[in-house]
Amino acid sequence: MTARKDIDRLRNELEDLFNEVWRAPRFSARRCFRPAVDCFRTVDPAQLVVVVELPGIDPETVHVIASDRSLQVSGERRRPRARTGGQVYQQMEIDYGPFERRIALTDDVETQNGTASYEQGLLKIVFPIMARPAPHGRVPIIVKRLA
């Protein structure tokens, strides 16, 4: 099962990259802004935590949508406007523009109980992991003769 999860994760990452390439203006050599993402589980309490690196973005402009098996985070990091006169750049390394990340949720999570917080440029989204019923082991089933 883990190989399937790895293949699905790689497929999702490739789709994201292709989507960004086609959205980028043809005349620009700059790539679009693609925030880094960490995703991990905690044991006590059982939670799935997704951390998205969004420095310089107003958290009120970020859209977060969760479904049963995926999380979508989208928005835009806008280039600050010059306050006086024009700007003449000597160097441009900071990526700006619209972004959209889709994260596969590999665990069964309670999306309706998810929470999100933003602090120091990091968006943290937390989902409780659904409790699985305890296995019952071997259960004998009695066969009855029908008359």
- In tens, the pLDDT along 88-115 reads 778 888 888 899 999 998 888 999 999 9
Task: Judge contact between 65 and 115, C-beta under 8 A.
Answer: no
Question: Which is more confidently placed, 126 or 78?
Answer: 126
Residue 139 lies in a domain: no
Task: Judge contact between 105 and 127, C-beta under 8 A.
Answer: yes
Tokens describing residue 78: 């806008």
Residues 6+ apart with CB under 8 A from 41: 47, 48, 49, 107, 129
Q: What is the mean pLDDT of residues 11-40?
A: 70
- Four-residue CA torsion sign, 69, 103, 97, 22: negative
Question: Which is more confidently placed, 15 or 125?
Answer: 125
Residue 111 lies in a domain: yes
Task: Report the pLDDT value the prediction gives residue 100, as an integer from 0 to 100.
Answer: 93
Residue 102 lies in a domain: yes
Confidence check: pLDDT of 119 > 60: yes
Overall domain count for the chain? 1
Task: Report the pLDDT value the prediction gives residue 27, as an integer from 0 to 100.
Answer: 42
For residue 93, the enclosing domain spans: 2-81+89-128
Q: Which amino acid is at 58?
A: D
Residue 124 lies in a domain: yes
Residue 56 lies in a domain: yes
**What predicted TM-score, i.e. pTM, was given to this entire model?**
0.69
Residue 99 lies in a domain: yes
Residue 138 lies in a domain: no
Residues 6+ apart with CB under 8 A from 110: 127, 128, 129, 130
At 85, give phi and psi (nearest 5°).
50, -160
pLDDT confidence bin for 19, thresholds 50/70/90: low
Residue 141 lies in a domain: no
CATH number of the domain that 11 lies in? Answer: 2.60.40.790
Q: What is the pLDDT of residues 27-79, one digit of tens each?
A: 444 457 899 999 999 999 999 999 999 998 999 999 999 987 899 999 999 88
Confidence check: pLDDT of 12 > 90: no
Question: Which is more confidently placed, 75 or 144?
Answer: 75
